[in-house]
Amino acid sequence: VITFWTIIDGNKVKNTHRIIGVNSRNGSVSFVTKGDNNDVKDSIEVYPSDIIGKWTGVKIGGFGSVMSFLRTKTGFFVCIIIPIALFFLFELYKFIVTIVEIKRPAAVQLDEEEIKKKAIEEYLAQQKELSDSAGKDSAADTETTDSEKDNSEAEAKTTDSGSNQPENNDNKDE
């Protein structure tokens, strides 16, 4: 059995037929072939320069069964569609993971910036509270100082007024 180039309907095509005879003329060899489904031999002889390949009698066991199974709807679905779908899903998963990994550092960076911003805002709020409470404390201190001055002045007046008055002597019998 050989596969060879031949001309069919004006087109150069590959054809596979069984060798049924060998002709030798003037030092050149040609082969007479016949297709397994044909009743008569081919009218055109095949020359060695047209041969593409030959069957050596070696078979791959079960290969025909596999090919027959692949031609069924179930075989096509199991051996072609499912693996392609699994490959597509795997690639989709890898794509999504890649996108998430690309966005994650950006999100982390934004989170870090937000944390820094909040920390700065909290610090500024604390500083403002401290300055406000310090201002109130100094105002309260000023008020306390004024009231202390008033109290000391009142005490001084009381002391001064007590010294101007005559002393009370309880000993009238003397």
Q: What percent of the chain has pLDDT over 90?
A: 16
Element (H, E) at 92: helix 82-164
Tens digits of per-residue pLDDT, 24-33? 888 788 788 7
Contact yes or no for 37/24 (Cβ under 8 A): no
pTM over 0.85: no
The neighbouring-strand residues paired with 53 are 3
DSSP secondary structure, 9-46, as one string: TTEEEEEEEEEEEEEEETTEEEEEEE-TT-SS--SS-B
Q: Which residues of the chain have a pLDDT value below 50?
A: 174
* Sign of the torsion angle spanned by Cα atoms 81, 84, 85, 86: positive
